């Protein structure tokens, strides 16, 4: 190797080490799982970072049997440009400013790609290609164009126009916790072994940071959950409603609140005992989670009372959802193996800004509608109306 080439190689190595030092400091600046993932992906795709076009993180599930799509930055097709980088380049934002970008976007980075990636599940078995093999063998891989279809077994991933990609394991303290997948979908720039080495160096920093963040975030979430139903607890519900109302004001969208409680629950507990009552509450929580949307925030408000915050939902839409919830609980409890007798709920609905413009008044209105549902015979939905608490047409 001649002197000039050696000097250039040393300069490149020094740049890479300085970059990895910056990235290492960056991903240690937060303990929140989603923020650490975002920073890792940003470091991979940023022009100030490694500069690849697209990056995707898959995490090993709790059972260790499959990879789950977690978060991605990049376009869904070669002609598109990652939306996050348009804003970053236009505003000349440095690596240190990346978290501000994330928060200002309300944590919605490249939503189209993430909607496609997050439902993906890949079994961790040899037959399922390069991503599964990276976990099984704890080994990175550079997959060339001719092998892409063989190594990508998931049809959604194949639909992304991948012509060449790299995959590296993300190592925690004792095991591989996930994989990082990277490609150049827009530029089609060829990736080489030196690129794989740089990605491995970054992944070595990232894996432990991701594992620590996940542990911390799980602990935070656990402290905000009701221990019996695993729904959000009262305190976290209040914070969620405050945040959701703030977002509704900014976006000028409707926000609905539903509150519901189990009819005649005291007599159920007195007749069958508190363990049976706990089982009934768990069953209702399970049904409610299946009846509502992923974007809705469901909480145990207290005792046998529950509440759900429904962003971007009008009163008429909320009443339909509440009626669906009421009907599912009524029908499922008849077929339940745990419920000692048929269970029903009464539901009250209120909506911002129609009924109230502050959180406490919105809760007051929903509680009033719930009381009216109880007064008029239980096992029904009532929406708050200013003139009189009468049912909205369903």
| Of the listed ranges 48-52, 212-216, 385-389, the one predicted with least confidence | 385-389
**For the chain, percent of residues with pLDDT exceeding 90:** 65
More confident residue, 83 or 10: 10
Q: Which residue has the tokens 């995707």?
A: 56
Return d(Cα 198, Cα 17) in angstroms, integer. Answer: 9
For 57, 160, 270, the CA distances from 157, given in Å and listed in that order, are 13, 5, 54
pLDDT, one tens digit per residue, over 97-109 is: 677 777 777 777 8
CATH 3.30.450.40 for domain 3-223: yes
Which ranges in the chain are annotated with CATH 3.30.70.270? Answer: 234-383
pTM for this entry: 0.67
What mean pLDDT is reported for the chain?
87
Whether 357 is catalytic is no
**Whether residue 391 has pLDDT greater than 50:** no
**Whether residue 120 has pLDDT greater than 50:** yes
Return d(Cα 277, Cα 271) in angstroms, integer. Answer: 10
**Whether residue 390 has pLDDT greater than 60:** no
Cβ atoms within 10 Å of 393's Cβ, excluding its own:
6
Q: What is the pLDDT of residue 132?
A: 97
pLDDT, one tens digit per residue, over 262-296 is: 999 999 999 999 999 999 999 999 999 999 988 89
Q: What is the pLDDT of residue 388?
A: 47
**Whether residue 84 has pLDDT greater than 90:** no
CATH class name, domain 234-383: alpha beta
Return d(Cα 86, Cα 304) in angstroms, integer. Answer: 48
Q: Which residue has the tokens 């590296």?
A: 168
- Which span out of 29-33, 48-52, 55-59 was modeled with the highest average pLDDT? 55-59
User: Which residues sit opposite 60 in a β-bridge?
Assistant: 67
Q: Find, among 88, 89, 92, 97, the residue nearest to 39 by Cα.
A: 97
Which ranges in the chain are annotated with CATH 3.30.450.40? Answer: 3-223
What does R_g of the chain's alpha carbons equal in angstroms? 25
Q: Which of 35, 211, 304, 372 is catalytic?
A: 304
pLDDT, one tens digit per residue, over 319-372 is: 999 999 999 999 887 666 566 778 899 999 999 999 998 999 999 999 999 999
Q: What is the pLDDT of residue 122?
A: 97
The DSSP 8-state label assigned to residue 126 in this structure reads G
Q: Are strands 54-60 and 66-73 parallel, antiparallel or unpaired?
A: antiparallel
Q: What is the pLDDT of residue 49?
A: 75
């Amino acid at each position: 190797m001649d002197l000039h080439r050696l000097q250039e190689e040393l300069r490149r190595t020094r740049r890479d080490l300085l970059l990895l030092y910056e990235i290492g400091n960056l991903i240690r600046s937060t303990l929140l799982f989603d923020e650490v993932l975002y920073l890792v992906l940003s470091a991979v795709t940023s022009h100030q970072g490694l500069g690849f076009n697209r990056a995707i993180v898959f995490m090993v599930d709790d059972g260790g049997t499959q990879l789950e799509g977690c978060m991605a930055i990049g376009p869904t097709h070669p002609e598109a440009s990652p939306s996050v980088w348009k804003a970053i380049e236009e505003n000349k934002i440095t690596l240190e400013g990346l978290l501000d970008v994330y928060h200002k976007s309300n944590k919605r980075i490249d939503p189209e790609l993430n909607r496609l990636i997050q439902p993906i599940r890949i079994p961790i078995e040899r037959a399922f290609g390069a991503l599964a093999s990276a976990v099984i063998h704890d080994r990175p891989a550079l997959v060339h164009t001719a092998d892409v279809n063989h190594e990508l077994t998931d049809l959604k991933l194949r639909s992304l126009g991948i012509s060449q990609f790299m995959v590296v394991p993300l190592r925690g303290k004792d095991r591989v916790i996930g994989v990082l997948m990277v490609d150049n979908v827009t530029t089609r720039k060829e990736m080489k072994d030196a690129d794989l080495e740089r990605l491995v160096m970054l992944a070595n920093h990232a894996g432990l940071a991701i594992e620590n963040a996940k542990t911390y975030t799980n602990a935070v979430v656990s402290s905000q959950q009701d221990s019996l139903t695993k729904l959000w607890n009262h305190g976290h519900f209040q914070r969620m409603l405050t945040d959701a109302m703030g977002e509704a004001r900014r976006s000028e969208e409707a926000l609905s609140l539903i509150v519901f409680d189990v009819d005649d629950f005291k007599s159920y507990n007195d007749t069958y005992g508190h363990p049976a009552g706990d089982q009934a509450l768990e069953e209702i929580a399970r049904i409610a989670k299946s009846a509502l949307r992923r974007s809705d925030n469901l909480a145990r408000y207290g005792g046998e009372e529950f509440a759900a915050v429904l962003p971007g939902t009008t009163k008429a839409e909320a009443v339909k959802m509440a009626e669906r919830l009421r009907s599912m609980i009524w029908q499922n409890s008849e077929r339940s193996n745990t419920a000692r007798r048929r269970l029903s709920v009464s539901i009250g609905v209120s909506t911002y800004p129609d009924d109230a413009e502050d959180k406490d008044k919105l809760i007051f209105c929903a509680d009033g509608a719930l009381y009216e549902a109880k007064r008029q015979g239980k096992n029904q939905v009532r929406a708050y109306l200013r003139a009189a608490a009468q049912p909205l047409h369903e």
